[in-house]
Amino acid sequence: MLSFTDLFVTSLLAAAGLGSALPPRIGTTVINQDQSSFLNGRTTLKQVRNPRPHKAFNGARATYRTYLKHGVPAPEYIKTAIAHIDNEQEEAIARIKRDTGSAAAVPINEVDIAYVTPVTVGTPPQTLMLDLDTGSSDLWVFSSLTPSSQVRGQEIYSPAKSSTSKLLSGHTWSIRYGDGSGSRGTVYTDNFTIGGLEVESQAVQTAQEVSSSFTQEQSLDGLVGLGFSTLNTVRPSSQLTFFDNARPKLDEEVFTADLKYHATGSYDFGFIDRAKYTGNITYTPVQQSPGYWTHSLSGYAVGSGAFQSTQIQGISDTGTTLLYLPTAIVTAYYRQVQGAQNSQYYGGYVFPCSSTLPTFTFGIEGARFTIPASYINYTRISPTSSTCYGGLQSSSGLGINIFGDVALKAAFVVFSGTNPPRIGFGTK
């Protein structure tokens, strides 16, 4: 159980870095625009090369056509050769762009302070529960190198027990989150799987030291950073995230987050599950520097109040618990709550637990997403207290607006690694 100080100051900082690799594009069938032109009854056809043939050249088929052209019956073996080549080409393409993955997102306590997902590392597979975090880009785990005094119930990864682990010699990492939590250590590469999707030789950062808030959180065995690889802290050479490594084999270059209030949701890789949202996904551009999923909201509304159209730039961050917005918006919200106050003592907006809270609506382009009041009545200050702490807090101390789990669990979110990247929200 995270201490209450962790609760109040859940802001996290991830160090910046640079450089991410984009996967090669697989040729797709291109329907060429008709290059022909008509001029007073005469037709001119311009020849254009099919820029990206869907399939490679099939020599046997060309030979077959030559026989036909010269009126000579083609020998039987040519026809079977055509099928052999076609099959091998189909299998090759299928093999390249076929993978997807789907895994559970389980809240680690009764107030959804963070969500963990089962992953496997190494051979034979070692299962750990990791926090998939779009606000950072280090994949690190409690390990056999973590001092036992700092391990309290977590599962650990032991590279020595994996036949496929390799030390990335001379490489170290160190990450510091804004709430004071942090960790550091060395790096191995090993097979890494989430929801059936495997990446061979994924950089797995083994903790040699973790801060107390991680030691205290026994149901969290580490993090999977799903921010842009530019944020990775491994030195001397930074490492790619699981998503960047998996992208070339994914049917679609996306992963989705379907986080739920006090319930298990899911993360999917490589596909958008139509059953998880209604209507359409509304997309908005992402600015990927310095490495967060940075985008704008198109405005907000408090309860049944009028929608205020105003661009609010921030980051969609599955690794941060609450929703942090500019003070002006937050005070407008709590003005509607009897007995609410911005408490120095408790480090944020608190109110009587019996208060009736309004909903909070945010815009993505023209679409609107409403956060139920229950999500914002976040938690009691202490189990016996009648004072409650808000799920909407001011971002003024952070220097960045953070659309954390309180907001994200009100939508189905598509993190699209296309070029340029974009983020999409669907109603659920």
Ligand X SMILES: C[C@@H](SC(=N)N)c1ccc(Cl)cc1
Which positions are catalytic? 133, 317
Q: Taking contact as CB under 6 A, which single stretch among the options 4-12, 91-99, 142-150, 305-313 is the one that binds ligand X? A: 4-12
> Binder to ligand X among 15, 103, 128, 131 (CB under 6 A)?
131
Q: At what angle do helices 59-69 and 76-96 cross, to 10 degrees?
A: 150
**Which one, 213 or 377, has the nearer CB to ligand X?**
213
178 interacts with ligand X by CB under 6 A:
yes
Identity at 87, one-letter amino acid code: N
165 interacts with ligand X by CB under 6 A:
no
Q: Taking contact as CB under 6 A, which single stretch among the options 92-100, 233-241, 268-276, 315-323 is the one that binds ligand X? A: 315-323
**Which one, 6 or 253, has the nearer CB to ligand X?**
6
Q: How far is 20 from 39, CA to CA, in rounded Å? A: 50
**Which one, 99 or 112, has the nearer CB to ligand X?**
112
14 interacts with ligand X by CB under 6 A:
yes
Residue 185, beta-bridge partner list: 173, 207
Q: What single-letter DSSP state applies at residue 336?
A: T
Q: 2, 171 in Cβ contact below 8 A? A: no
Of the candidates 182, 177, 197, the one whose C-alpha atom is nearest the C-alpha of residue 135 is 177
312 interacts with ligand X by CB under 6 A:
no
* Residue with the two structure tokens 């050479």: 237
> Binder to ligand X among 60, 82, 114, 129 (CB under 6 A)?
114
Main-chain dihedrals φ then ψ at residue 44, nearest 5 degrees: -110, 120
423 interacts with ligand X by CB under 6 A:
no
233 interacts with ligand X by CB under 6 A:
no
* Sequence-ordered list of residues with C-beta below 8 angstroms from that of 134, at least 6 positions apart, any chain: 226, 227, 257, 292, 293, 315, 316, 317, 318, 319, 415
* Sequence-ordered list of residues with C-beta below 8 angstroms from that of 320, at least 6 positions apart, any chain: 10, 11, 12, 135, 402, 404, 405
Question: Cβ 185 to ligand X, closest distance in Å?
Answer: 16
214 interacts with ligand X by CB under 6 A:
yes
Query: Binders of ligand X: how many residues, by CB under 6 A?
Result: 31
**Which one, 151 or 367, has the nearer CB to ligand X?**
151
> Binder to ligand X among 143, 202, 238, 321 (CB under 6 A)?
321
323 interacts with ligand X by CB under 6 A:
no
* Secondary structure E strands in 326-375: 341-343, 348-352, 360-364, 367-371
Question: Cβ 396 to ligand X, closest distance in Å?
Answer: 11
299-304 long-range contacts, Cβ below 8 Å, gap at least 24? 299/362, 299/363, 300/325, 300/329, 300/360, 300/361, 300/362, 300/363, 301/360, 301/361, 301/368, 302/332, 302/333, 302/336, 302/358, 302/360, 302/361, 303/336, 303/358, 303/359, 303/360, 304/358
Of the candidates 60, 53, 64, the one whose C-alpha atom is nearest the C-alpha of residue 84 is 60
Q: Taking contact as CB under 6 A, which single stretch among the options 82-90, 161-169, 277-285, 317-325 is the one that binds ligand X? A: 317-325
- Give residue number: closest CB to ligand X: 135
Q: 226, 115 in Cβ contact below 8 A? A: no
> Binder to ligand X among 120, 146, 183, 320 (CB under 6 A)?
320
Q: How far is 224 from 237, CA to CA, in rounded Å? A: 18
402 interacts with ligand X by CB under 6 A:
yes
**Which one, 293 or 425, has the nearer CB to ligand X?**
293
For 197, 346, 355, the CA distances from 390, given in Å and listed in that order, are 37, 11, 11
Of the candidates 318, 2, 313, 343, the one whose C-alpha atom is nearest the C-alpha of residue 179 is 2
Residues 49-68 that bind ligand X (CB under 6 A): none
Q: How far is 376 from 359, CA to CA, in rounded Å? A: 8
220 interacts with ligand X by CB under 6 A:
yes
Residues 133-152 that bind ligand X (CB under 6 A): 133, 135-136
213 interacts with ligand X by CB under 6 A:
yes
> Binder to ligand X among 8, 177, 269, 360 (CB under 6 A)?
177
**Which one, 2 or 364, has the nearer CB to ligand X?**
2
Question: Cβ 325 to ligand X, closest distance in Å?
Answer: 13
**Which one, 212 or 374, has the nearer CB to ligand X?**
212
Q: How far is 404 from 115, CA to CA, in rounded Å? A: 12
> Binder to ligand X among 137, 146, 154, 181 (CB under 6 A)?
181
| Binding interface with ligand X (CB under 6 A) | 2, 10-14, 113-114, 131, 133, 135-136, 177-179, 181, 213-214, 217, 220, 223, 292, 315, 317, 319-321, 398-400, 402
